[in-house]
Amino acid sequence: MAVHLSVMALFAAAVAAIFGVLVHDAPRDQVRLAVRIFGGLVVGAYLVGWIMIGLYG
């Protein structure tokens, strides 16, 4: 279980960093967007996991 969570967090961090750099020019805006994307991916995956447990659990 811990391996899945760490792989998900690593993937979310990579996606967030790439999109942050691609979308904005200013470093502060890049970091802010990357943090928002990272948080959205982690929280979204967590919520989807709980929904799947409720439906199929």
Where do the DSSP E strands lie in the chain?
none
CA–CA separation, 45 vs 49, rounded Å? 6
pLDDT of residue 9: 95
Summarised one tens digit per residue, pLDDT across range 30-52 is 999 999 999 999 999 999 999 99
Token pair of 42, please? Answer: 């982690």
Token pair of 45, please? Answer: 């995956």
Summarised one tens digit per residue, pLDDT across range 10-27 is 999 999 999 999 999 999
Question: From residue 51, how far is each of 1, 6, 57 by CA, in Å?
Answer: 17, 20, 9
Asked if residue 1 has pLDDT above 80, the reply is: no
pTM summary value: 0.88
> At 2, is the pLDDT very low, low, confident or very high (cuts 50, 70, 90)?
confident
Q: ∠ CA 32-29-11 to the nearest 5 degrees? A: 50
